[in-house]
Structure 1
Amino acid sequence: MEEQFRLAKRINFNYLLLLSVVFGGFLIFGFSENIKGPAIPLMQADFSLNEKQLGLLLALNSLGYLVACTFTSALAGRIGIKWTGITAFGSMAVSGVLIYLSVNYALLSASYFLMYIGNGMLEIGLAIMAARIFTKNTGTMMNLSHFFYGLSSTVAPVIAAAMMGWKLFGSELGWRGMYLLTLSLSVLPVIPSLFGKFPVQEHSREDRISLRILVRDPIAWMIVAILSFGVVSEMAVGSWLVNFLEKAYDWTIPKASGMLSLFFLFFTLARLLLGPVTDKIGYTVSVMLFAAFSGACSLTAILIGEPGAVLFAVAGAGIAPIYPTVMAMIAKRYPKGTETAITFTVTLMGIATVLGNLGNGYLIDFVRRLFERLGPADSRIVGLQAGYVFIAAMALLCSVCCLCLYVMLRRRDEVV
């Protein structure tokens, strides 16, 4: 009996270690992805970057994520999920040092690329960890995990803006020091990772067959389109909202960062509270309605102008449930090949986010140059408005694709 008690105690302690890795990992993930909003205007000023260069920088982020998608699962199979997670945390900490040392646009881009390789490895690694650890009450624990991501995403812009103004050794910390300190936190989850014992899962041989089926399945490609449009819209807000409010409405960076934090507050609450709604009305209908709501909020905010800026934040309530609901849709649609279906979908989504970030930067620059030649309007503001219309359009396209998917599934009597 005493030996069984000791064993149970060791198992519980190990579970707490693994929880700290997963929850801490999601906290770090949220911070690393969403501190860039307040930093981008200062980076742009320091390196004299135009919007096209900013778009390229953000596209490199997505490319780093995409590269991570191609090798993280194989790496986890070779060295184990434990060391894969440690590698992800370590690469993010190293990228913080390199960002701090960046003296030109090329070095900054390379450092950002490394950071997002670490981010991509972390996202996929955390998904694998969570799937293996949370074998009971999976839905509740997954929601709780994403709550930590939303929590850090909510406070990240405000904390980042405040940190950049801190005085250290007689000078401001700035965006370089802010990245260095924030990404150094990635070292903390490494400690429980070293002592934790992670569950091992045998690999199935069905992946190759499932992949061939997915490539020939129009439903799978429609799901890719839905997730891609939704995620491009979601991620673009974190990249462009602060820049838009600061330049279009002359807001201060702390004030604009506060609006981004409000966006993530709506985002976080929606992920916690709207899960039962998606189960009740169906995943396809849910995504269709939520994406339409998000796109409509963003378009209305642009049309109203500065008095309607709060609608940019409210849009977060619509865009937030899209990613987890599509994941649930995949699991329901492909119960015997969920892991392969997620890998297929997320990898192609990564390509879409590269093109989306790049396309938005080029669109802003093109519209700005066009209005410089055509009329007296403030071309910079018009260009930024066009960029945000692009963000809203991505959400609306997500909704339209979901409507098409609903029709396709309805004809087969397979609506999920």
Structure 2
Amino acid sequence: MPVRLRRLVDRVGLSWTDVLLAAVFVAAAVIAAAVADPADAQGPLRMRVEGEVPDAAAVPVAPPAPDTFGGADGPAAPDVPEMPEKVNPLAGVIAGAALAVRRRLPYTAFLVAVGGIIVIRQGLLWPGFVAIIICAYSVVTYGRSVAVGLGLLAVTAGGAAARFDESIPSLPGWLGPFVVLLLTGLAAAALRNARARADAAARRADALEKEQAAAARAAIAEERARIARELHDVVSHHVSVMVVQAGAAGKVIGTRPDLARGALGAIESSGREAMAELRQLLGLMAPADDQLRPQPGLADLDTLVDAVRAAGQPVTLRRDDVEVPPTVDLTAYRVVQEGLTNALRYAPGAATDVDIRLDDEVLVVEVRNTAAAPADPAVPGAGRGLLGLGERIRLHDGTLETHRTLSGGFHLTARIPT
């Protein structure tokens, strides 16, 4: 195909399929007109327009009376129209060429194809007839709306029924155009609706797939955050206890071996506890066949407080005997663990109070400590523990409040609805 024609088609925005289809029907119209028999004027694939000069084969000729023709003074016999030498292919060529714009300009293509028949007023062979059917289908399929397309076909069918004496197919009187055009339009409307439903179903499936992917990503991010919080709580607390105990053991190992031995035992105990909790956390991510250790809760606070006391932090525990859901129980334990870890890290040796009570279906957990000793400056931290703790509490629609006291101490209060 010439390059200029290819560029023209692309610039206009036509479909190459429609352009090739139009070329095929134009060639078929020319070939069909060349091989058609002109005497077959009333064939089922030709139309005769009202007012057209009838063919000789269709005009009944009465036999002349003996005294009317042939005399010297009598009138001459009427002339019989000559048969055309060949069928004019122009109507079929116009209808076939209109197929090139049937998707981009469906109304224009249909009106041009039908208008070619009315203007040329010649018989229509099968290529032009099929081309008009395709244009009628395109009006409903690619037009702005189904109602407008069907209305245009109905008006055209009425005009064709009033204009043409005969139509394709051979039906009684004016019914032919309505049968052809409206049935084509209804079929196109059904196909268009089916295509629209299929497109809508595909869009819904795509949206559902994207929604599921987004939900999966959100779940993964939430699980990663939860695991990060658990790791921080476990590692931060136990490592802080071990660091403090190791420092204490180093100070007294030469003068008080018994105290150093107790500190080393506390380090061992804290290390075992950390390994057990880490093993439990890893088991939640990749469960093994063995029985998993249950998550810690308020019932395990005595063990937690004893470990902190053994590290040299004086802790006072006051709590009510309350029963809360397992998730709230674990969260409350993590609040106390984070508060004691921060007190041990930033205010070693400072008096620390833990208070747990139930206030109108809200579990209140408070951890308070006094100021650190001047000889033990606070170690700077990143603050990630409190951020993760606040996120954990917000999952229960609770609140976390932290502030420093006027005396230099630290106060942590968590309110968790039960």
TM-score in same-fold range (> 0.5): no
Higher relative contact order (CA 8 A, sep 6+): 1
Give the structure with higher Rg (CA): 2
More strand by share: 2
**Structure with the bigger percentage of helix:** 1
